[in-house]
Structure 1
Amino acid sequence: MPANQEPAADNDPPPHGVSRADRTWAGLPERVRHGLRTRAWRFRLYGLLAVQAGVAASIAWFVGYQFLGNPAPVLAPTTAVGIVAASMGTRLRRTIELLVGVVLGLAVGDAVMPLFGIGPWQTGLVVVLAIIVAILLKGGGSLLTQAGGTAVLIATLEPPVRDLSVPRFVDAAVGGLVGLAVGMLVVPIHPQRTVQRLAEPVLDPAIAALHSLGGALRRRDLDATEQSLTGLRILGSRMNALDEGLGAAQEVVRLAPLRWHQRRFLARYTQAVKHLERSLYGCRAVARRLTKALREDEPIPEEFAAAIELLATSMHTLRRTTTPERADPQEARQQILTALKLVGEAQGPAAPDPTRPHAHRLGYSGMIAAGEFRMAAQDLLIASGLDTDEAVALVRRTADRDESD
């Protein structure tokens, strides 16, 4: 979600004499806009899911009715829709586990229920047997859950009828295969758009948090610095979602002929995102150390705050280089190197005494933050397209030049 989604008034102290009701009413338009932006983002990300589910349900029903001779193929479209929904953002193995779990639960339920009938202990018995079989097949959590859940459905949905056992079993299998085929082959997700939209709620808040951190350090505002640190910390779950989206996109470009042409771009984008995530973890470490430095009243020079803001700007610039048009990354790299020079100035010039390499413009936590900053900058350079050796050499040369000045 965009970085400017939070109301600006939330960050400012309320005007004196303004009631809470007035503040709530004044912030209503921004909250409405925030809600609309959030829903628009979710629609752009998951809108294709509705099309995939509809196509899968139609094909599964047609196959069950026309080719399996089932006048009411309920399980085929139901399983197809479930598989499509589960495959959105998950790995292929987990999707297949869901399909196997559905079929396994059906098989156990249809085999046991005609013998014992329907009832509380019969339902428990079917669930136990279905999960035991799934365990023996070395299934994961998705398979175990789906097998047990489907067994409950079969044990309670309708009276056991032997003549329907094979059609229900086959319906579920056909529906699952149709759902998998539609999600991966017929109407696959657009890998580039999906990953870029998943990156929005990671990059935009991170850039905003780093700019806020720079301003808070200039004012030596401990509360604002802690808020910026919190803003970087809460990105962990969003990075996990981004990683899941990258995994799903990689499977699509590997399996879907319609998306094969995006393999090269996605490989480059995946590499950039992985190092960008590592850089964000490094920025979080920088923010944590500088928060500690403020809490302990250590000096934090103006150059360090400027370096953090420039690093945030370089992230914004770097986003343009990860598009299919592949803009020139030189501007982002120059911004990163300039930020590194500013951190070197914040550390201070080299001292004549070799046991004291810097004049200690920074305190203990500040010195550690400077090292973390260099690692974050190095990962950003790699994300810009440099290989690891080139990035390390650039960072080292910049640091050496700063010490020699």
Structure 2
Amino acid sequence: MAGPVRRTLTRATRGFDAAGALSRTVSSLPAVVQIVIAASASYVIAHLLLGHAVPLLAVTITISSLGFARDARPRRVLENAVGVLIGIALSEVMLLVLGKGVWQMGVVLLVVLVVARFFSPSNAFAIAAATQSMLVMLLPDPDGGPFVRSIDGTVGGLVALAVTAVVPRDPVGLARADARRLFVELDVAFASLVAALRDDDVRRADEALRRLRATQPLLDDWASTLESALAISRLSPFLRSRLPHLRQQDRIRSNVDLAVRNLRVIARRIDTSLGDGARRPAVADVLDATGRAVSALGASLDDVEQLPVARDALTAVARRLDPSLLIPGQPVTETIVVLMIRPLVIDLLMATGLDHDDARARLAPV
């Protein structure tokens, strides 16, 4: 018996990532603390202050409105709360009119889902409304008469919204962590491209292209957490002082997003041109300098003094981007790569704070 049990446990735990589980748990602690505080506050208000014996919906709405979603914007929290309140209010009205029963439950569920889909494109909105409506239909009627549960729901939604501002989840730190993950991948991709050009190594070019194509989820995560951080910081008195830094980070993110899209195209061009035995040290040097500038740009999110370092390094690269001087006499395929690097450098210069005209003026004339 011990043998089969041991083999079963081994199969069950073989795919378990302990390091990932620990990282996930630690990163979720701010959300855990926020949810615990909010749910406790909802219970205290509904039970002790309003006298509701079992304020189940106040607590469940608080928990479902906050959740563990990456997007913790007040607007999202409010939308979730409104969704469940619609489900509760409609259910209580229909419960008074239709009573309880199997067909009544079906009618209520149908109406709530249709109304929720009409008011919001969010799937979660409709499901939250439908779930809460079923609690109203299936649980015993509370003491206090009609709409006690609607009052509990309102308490839960308001507490969730208030706690979002008063006990935020360190949205600034989450946005910075997402940015770091992206810049680590960009460092590796630049290094792979440089090695591929210097050694005519198609395998390294393939690796760079694969990494760059995989950065879009990282960019999307960064955009989501940064949007959430901006929204919470506008509402929270404790984070309002971080708004200038977050706006600067958002400018960097939007221009880096454009730069990465350009870099993918460049990597694809390089990948298809290698394999002929030729080495391309001049283009490799330019991309190496660009990669080091991008590293400084990423470091500027923690140390603002790195921003002018990145700008100066990118300016030095921009002044070299004349194919006739950088790679004289080389085939047109080489010239095209250098010309493709020019808009990449413009995007990165704009990420350092320059406007488009100023960034373009730093390019070598061609």
Q: TM-score, normalization: structure 2? A: 0.85
Q: Match of 1:377? A: 345
What's 1:319 paired with? Answer: 298
Provide closer, same or farther for how the CA distance between residues 209 and 328 of structure 1 changes in structure 2, counting only shifts above 3 A: closer
Q: Deviations over 1:39-77 (max 9, x none)?
A: 565455432101111110110000011122112212112
Match status 1:118 vs 2:118? no
CA distance 1:383–1:41, shift in 2 (3 Å): farther
The whole-number CA distance in structure 1 between the counterparts of 2:238 and 2:296 is: 31
Is residue 200 from structure 1 mapped to residue 172 from structure 2 by the alignment? no
Q: Is the 8 A contact 1:68 1:167 kept in 2?
A: no
Cα separation, 1, equivalents of 2:176 and 2:109: 41
Report the equivalent of 2:9: none
Name which of 189, 193, 198 aligns with 1:218: 198
- Ranges of 4+ aligned residues in structure 1 off by more than 6 Å: none
Write out per-residue CA displacement over residues 311-348 of structure 1, whole angstroms, 9 at most, x where no aligned residue: 1211111223233x52153332333234345553xx34
Q: Is the 8 A contact 1:214 1:308 kept in 2?
A: yes
Structure 1 CA distance, aligned partners of 2:183 and 2:271?
Answer: 21
Partner of residue 218, structure 2: 238
Q: Does 1:390 align with 2:342?
A: no
Q: How does 1:161-172 map to 2 (within 5 A)?
A: 165-172=146-153
Aligned partner of 1:335 in structure 2 is 313
Whether the 8 Å CA contact 1:301–1:361 is kept in 2: the answer is: no
Inter-CA distance 124–291: structure 2 relative to 1 (3 Å threshold): farther
| Superposed CA offset, 1:95-125 (max 9, x none) | 2221111011112223334624232x44332
Q: CA deviation at 1:86?
A: 5.8
TM-score (normalizing by structure 1): 0.78
The number of aligned residues is 350
Structure 1: gaps spanning 5 or more residues: 1-30, 351-357
Of residues 306, 310, 319 in structure 1, which corresponds to 2:289?
Answer: 310
CA distance in 2, matches of 1:123, 1:279: 53
CA contact (8 A) 1:210 1:308 kept: yes
With 284-293 and 188-197 compared, the bigger mean Cα shift is at: 188-197
- Matched to 1:318, the amino acid is L
Q: 1:263 maps to which residue?
A: 243
1:196–1:41 distance in 2 versus 1, CA, 3 Å = farther
Is the 8 Å Cα contact of residues 87 and 130 (structure 2) preserved in structure 1?
yes
Native 8 Å contact 2:116 2:126 kept in 1? yes
- Give the distance between the partners of 2:44 and 2:56, measured in 1 at CA: 11
Partner of 1:56: 38
What whole-Å deviation, never above 9, does each CA across 1:203-238 have from its counterpart, x for those lacking one? 111211111121122222222211210111111112
Instruction: Describe the SS at the equivalent of 2:300.
Output: helix
Name the CA distance, whole Å, in 2 between partners of 1:284 and 1:108: 50
**Does the Cα contact within 8 Å between 1:108 and 1:130 map onto a contact in 2?**
yes
Say if 2:208 is the partner of 1:228.
yes
Q: Secondary structure at the match of 1:188?
A: coil
Q: Provide the secondary structure at the position in 2 that maps to 1:278.
A: helix
How many Å separate the matches in 1 of 2:185 and 2:163?
Answer: 34
**For residue 102 of structure 1, what is the aligned residue in structure 2?**
84
1:361 alignment counterpart: 330
Deviation at 1:79, TM superposition (A): 1.1
Secondary structure at the aligned position of 1:349 is classed as helix
- Distance in 2 separating the partners of 1:211 and 1:291: 14
For 1:66 and 1:35, how far apart are their aligned partners in 2?
42
Is the 1:110–1:160 Cα contact (8 Å) retained in structure 2? no
Superimposed CA distance per residue, residues 338-384 of structure 1 (whole angstroms, 9 cap, x where no aligned partner): 4345553xx3439xxxxxxx8551433x4443233111111111212
Aligned equivalents of 1:100, 1:225: Cα separation in 2: 50
Go from structure 1 to structure 2 and tell me whether the alpha carbon gap of 1:217 and 1:359 turns closer, same or farther (over 3 Å shift).
closer
Task: Pick closer, same or farther for the CA change 1:294–1:251 going to 2, 3 Å.
Answer: same
Confirm or deny that 1:173 pairs with 2:161. no
Q: Note the residue ranges of structure 2 that are not aligned, 5 or more in a row.
A: 1-14
Aligned residue type for 1:330: P
- Quote how far apart the aligned CAs of 1:152 are: 3.5
> Which whole-Å CA distance do the structure 2 matches of 1:201 and 1:35 have between them?
20
